[in-house]
Every structure is written in structure tokens, then in C-alpha cells.
Amino acid sequence: MATKVTLKDAVELNLPGRRSREILSGAQGADCALRFVEIAVPQAGDTARLPHWHPDCSECIHVLSGQGITWVEGASFAMESGDTIHIAANERHVTRNTGTIVLTLLCYFPCPEITVLTETAGPNNA
């Protein structure tokens, strides 16, 4: 059965270093999850987010606006509006804003519930 969800109905996730709203997930009976994510321009003194990974499913990140860099298991990918990156399950990754405006992303997960595990120390090159 089709389900319509508006961004105003999305669930605020209160994740560190970004504003993340879950638009769709198993909570709405979906078999996938979709998040709208905004990463602010970094300010002096900000603590960099640490990498994380999803042991249960992959993630596709699509850039709606802004510029950033996504670090995945030792590789860095410059990202800008219109770019999409696929990250396999269990790959450690983090996306950071490198531009002058808010970095806006859609993050898609082909599973209804998302497990997030976080590093305790960041990578040298992230």
C-alpha cells in the first residue's frame, strides 16, 4: 500500500553533528528507510564527527545541495549537488561539509530499521 509522508511529519533523530530527520522507516510499515540530513558549515572549535557504520545494510547518500567530503574506509570522495555514493554494509564512513552553505542530503537504506555503530577514535585522513 502506498504511503505519503511529508518532511514536516518526519521524526527528528537528534544525531550529533547534523540535523537528521527520518522520513520513512519500519515505523511507518516500510521495508526501507529514508532520511533528510543537513550538515552545517563547520565553525572554529567544532568537534569533528567520528566515522560510523551500519552492520545490517548498505546506505546510499545523494547530495541535494552544498559540497562535502565522504570518507569511506580510507578513501575520500568529494561530493557536490547531484552526486550519489553507495556505501556497503560494515564500511566505516563519515560525511563532512566542506562548502559555504548547509550540506543537504537524502540518505536511503534498503532496510526498515538502521543499526549505527560509531568509532571511538577518528581516522587520520578524515
**Does 55 reside within a domain?**
yes
**Does 39 reside within a domain?**
yes
What is the domain-level CATH number for residue 41? 2.60.120.10
Mean pLDDT, the chain, rounded, equals 91
Chain centroid to CA 78:
15
- In the chain, the percentage of residues whose pLDDT exceeds 90 is 74
**Does 4 reside within a domain?**
no
Closest CA to 35 of 22, 17, 19: 22
**Does 8 reside within a domain?**
no
At position 24, the amino acid (one-letter code) is L
Do residues 52 and 92 lie in contact, with contact meaning Cβ atoms separated by under 8 Å? yes
- pLDDT at residue 42 greater than cutoff 70: yes
- pLDDT at residue 1 greater than cutoff 80: no
Pairwise pLDDT comparison (16 vs 93), residue with the higher score:
93
**Does 109 reside within a domain?**
yes
- pLDDT at residue 117 greater than cutoff 70: yes
pLDDT in tens, 67-101: 999 999 989 999 999 999 999 999 999 999 999 99
Distance between terminal CA atoms of the chain? 42
- The predicted model gives 113-126 an average pLDDT of 68
**Does 22 reside within a domain?**
yes
Which residue shows C-alpha cell 567544532?
Answer: 46
- The predicted model gives 3-24 an average pLDDT of 92
Contacts of 112 (CB under 8 A, 6+ apart): 25, 26, 30, 31, 32, 33
**Does 6 reside within a domain?**
no
The one-character DSSP state at 114 is: -
Domain residue limits at 94: 17-118
Pairwise pLDDT comparison (125 vs 88), residue with the higher score:
88
- The predicted model gives 53-78 an average pLDDT of 96
**Does 35 reside within a domain?**
yes
Number of structural domains (the chain) is 1
- pLDDT at residue 118 greater than cutoff 90: no
